[in-house]
Amino acid sequence: MDLELTGKRVLVTGGSRGIGRAITKVFLDEGARVAICARGEAALAEAAAELSEFGEVHHRPADIGVVGEPAALVEWAVDTLGGLDVLVSNVSAMAGPDWEASCAVDLVGTNALIRTALEHMEDDTGANIVCIGSRAASTAAARIPAYAAVKAATVSMIKSLAREVARRGIRANVVSPGDIIFPGGSWDDARIEDGKLWNAILRENPFRRLGEPEEIADVVAFVASARASFMTGSNVLVDGGATTGIQI
């Protein structure tokens, strides 16, 4: 299936590792031109150098939680790529119970990122926004209440945004991963420790395993592609069936 992403200009936040890195690679594999950011400059530069093997990738350090940074990042990406067709907002404070940090990054910063991106997206050209959510938004999450709450708010924000921008021919969706393992991530640390948390999360998933970043990236690429042209305002759970509630 041709996703028709060749030549598309894509900005991916949090692109230096894990899900963001996998998303970047799949867009490059599909022929897109990609700009990425992350907070850690050294890791970002290393990731960009490695990803450049697969296509055109540009990088710039940025902290979405800092006022003014989201807008500056988008302006840089637009100048670098010559425009913007797809924004993948893969950013989170990952602050667990910290409400202030969670709201500053996941909601206020993300909204600033999206609003600036919309100023540069052309109408009726297939432009779209994909936010990375979390299955935590759809279930009780006692250890990380602020994180779960802002991810639920992200779904609501994108649902409303999708209605707002539909007249422009722009789409907006959420892809919500379940528990994903990658080197250096929190679940990788839990696996190494092999304690109660690791065993519990394995038992919770019907597949008795965690997801891989590439399994999220492939879904994101489809949602952002012309093949999903009638999909907007959706929240796509990619969690191996771990979420047992029904979305209505």
* Pairing of the two strands 235-238 and 171-177: parallel
The CATH number of the domain holding residue 175 is 3.40.50.720
Domain ranges, residue 85: 9-181+212-238
The pLDDT value recorded for residue 66 is: 95
196 inside domain: no
CB atoms within 10 A of CB 104: 19
- Tell me how far apart the alpha carbons of residues 24 and 22 are, in angstroms, rounded to a whole number: 5
Q: Is residue 237 over pLDDT 70?
A: yes
Is residue 33 situated within a structural domain?
yes
Write down the mean pLDDT value for the chain. 94
Q: Which of 27, 147, 182, 198 is catalytic?
A: 147
pLDDT at residue 183 is higher than 90 = no
Q: Is 190 inside any structural domain?
A: no
Task: Report residue 7 as tokens.
Answer: 């030549």
- 153 assigned to some structural domain: yes
35 occurs within a structural domain: yes
Q: Is the pLDDT of residue 98 over 90?
A: no
Q: Can 147 be counted among the known catalytic residues?
A: yes
pLDDT, tens only, 9-43: 999 999 999 999 999 999 999 999 999 999 999 99
Residues 177-187 have a mean pLDDT of: 85
202 within some domain = no
pLDDT for 222 beyond 90: yes
What was the pLDDT predicted at 111? 97
Q: Rg (Cα) of the chain, in Å, rounded?
A: 17
pLDDT reported for residue 248 = 62
Residue 186 domain flag: no
The torsion angles phi and psi of 76, rounded to 5 degrees, stand at -60, -45
Confidence check: pLDDT of 142 > 80: no
Three-class HEC string of the chain: CCCCCCCCEEEEECCCCHHHHHHHHHHHHCCCEEEEEECCHHHHHHHHHHHHHHCCEEEEECCCCCCCHHHHHHHHHHHHHCCCCEEEECCCCCCCCCHHHHHHHHHHHHHHHHHHHHHHCCCCCCCEEEEECCHHHHCCCCCCHHHHHHHHHHHHHHHHHHHHHHHHCCEEEEEEECCECCCCCHHHHHHHHCCHHHHHHHHHCCCCCCECHHHHHHHHHHHHCHHHCCCCCCEEEECCCCCCCCCC
Of the candidates 121, 155, 122, 125, which has an alpha carbon nearest to the alpha carbon of residue 137?
A: 155
Residue 45's pLDDT is 97
Angle in degrees, 0-180, between the axes of helices 145-165 and 110-120, rounded to the nearest 10: 20
246 part of a folded domain: no
Number of domains in the chain: 1
pLDDT at 96 over 80: no
Q: What is the pTM of this model?
A: 0.95
For residue 99, count CB atoms less than 10 angstroms from its CB and return exposed for 0-12, middle for 13-18, buried for 19 or more.
Answer: middle
